[in-house]
Amino acid sequence: MPDSAVFNKISRIALIEPAVRCECLTSEIFAQIRASLPFLAGALSAAGYGCGIYCEELIDLRPHISKIASAFPAAGISVTINTVRRAIEIARSLKKSNPEIIIIFGGSLAASFAGELLAAGDYCLNGRAETTLPMLLNALNAGRAPDEIPNLIRISEGKIFKSEREAAAADFKSDYSAVLNFGNFSEKRSILHFNKPPLYSVFASTGCVNSCRFCVSEKKYIKRRPENVIDDFKNIIRIHKGFFPPRFMLVDDCAFGDAGYLKNILSQLAALRKKNNFSLMMQFHVLPLLKDPSLPELFKRAGVSTLLIGFESASDVSLRRERKGTTVNQNIKAIEICRRHGITPYGYFVAGFDSDSAESVKDIFNFISQHSLAAQVLPVGVMKTSGAGSRSGGPETLDPYSFGASMKVSHIPENMAPWVLQEILIEGYDRIYSFSRAAMMKTFREKLYNLFFSLCYLKWRPGPVKHLNYLKLLQRFSKRS
């Protein structure tokens, strides 16, 4: 732990977002960073702190490590499930370069990996940190014990200490000027070997009003001030470089949580788009499309070209069991609504629920083919194990760091062996990501999506095939033991 003399010197902090390779089309093709660190930079600025933001999706971080360690007395590392290992590597590199640097990990699921993270750093701030990070820096600068800071996790007397207080949310304009190489092509090359163009993340809310069993989204739904959301769009448009108009993604898990609020945001975006050309994709849900016939036209005026819809399954049994609140017929109606209004329905599917059978997983790929969908299908992710090796009330995990980011099966479904699920997934991917399928897609954008999927899949496929062999060996040797 750094001595207290260092605490008085904290006026600036480096914010770092690790990146890992995963089988996701948008992250393989585009340079997309999460919206959290620019938002946090706005909060820090309001509290009187400066910062620099280093995102591995935009830059090669390695040449900057020694500079960060010497120029900043503290570093905040943003963590999501599939970046935990990389976050630990970065923290150790910073500590090796400067043992006195204070390392603070943060993220919505930081608490789930606090033990591993605190072995490499000093503090964890679980969840949103726009109020707690300035509070922690203030406490360190004043030489006060930080134990009263909400959502704080640290090592105290050899044990993990967790604050029992909950943090209050606040809203700020995001500060994109602090992000190194923001608005330009990334230094990082895509899976197809070209420098990635930017895809800009903006959020209007966090949390979700639904209670799907398989989802780890926070259930506390919090909205931002609409003027701050629109200002984020305006600032990005101003910073954006390049010939083509900027591409945005509204990354809210629950953009539909307040219909009136969403319509207000969309109306303001429609007005902004009259002056500045841009395109927008957003995550969405089937039911609001069915209930509100005015939404599709409003989407079009706001520049929404693609809706990323969580269909999840082609089985009513699985949809019911997972508390999705939709049916397969409703999913089909949502696809039809999108197509009538010139909006691309991009399908999200999850395979390997405990209610799934081998046939119901195959039906997902049949559904995608039948409806000519551009879609991604990922196996269920189990976030974290207990000491006994399984999540209480949930399926057993083979890899707690793989949630939602990989084509590789990392859990043990109830009705089939992991290798069986992996084999069915590979067969399905071979079908929906074939080059010949692009010709059968209904629109140019869908043809383009599927073409990129096909090109990426050539690179992805060896990984799941190798993993299939591993899962077969794992079952064979576990039976022997």
Q: What is the pLDDT of residues 232-278, one digit of tens each?
A: 999 999 999 988 999 999 999 999 999 999 999 999 999 999 999 99
Which of 99-113, 193-207, 313-327, 376-390 has the least mean pLDDT? 376-390
What single DSSP character describes residue 171? -
Q: What average pLDDT does range 413-419 have in this prediction?
A: 93
What pLDDT is attached to residue 78? 96
Q: Would you say residue 19 has pLDDT above 70?
A: yes
Q: Mean pLDDT in the chain? A: 91
Angle at the Cα of 284 (from 214 to 301), degrees rounded to 5?
Answer: 175
Calpha distance 40→77 (Å, rounded) = 12
**How many helices (H) and strands (E) are present in the chain, helices listed first?**
17, 17
Query: In which band, very low, low, confident or very high, does the pLDDT at 169 lie, cut at 50, 70 and 90?
Result: very high
pLDDT band at 477 (very low <50, low <70, confident <90, very high): confident
**pLDDT, position 6:** 42
Q: What is the pLDDT of residue 57?
A: 95
How confident is the model at residue 464, as a pLDDT? Answer: 95
Query: What's the longest Cα–Cα distance across the chain?
Result: 68
- State residue 58 phi and psi, 5-degree precision: -105, -25
**Alpha carbons 331 and 205: distance in angstroms, whole number:** 24
* Averaged pLDDT, 10-38: 92
Q: Which residues contact 193 (CB under 8 A, 6 or more apart)?
A: none
Q: Are strands 74-78 and 12-17 parallel, antiparallel or unpaired?
A: parallel
pTM, two decimals, is: 0.92
Residue 404 confidence (pLDDT): 60
Mean pLDDT of 37-46: 97
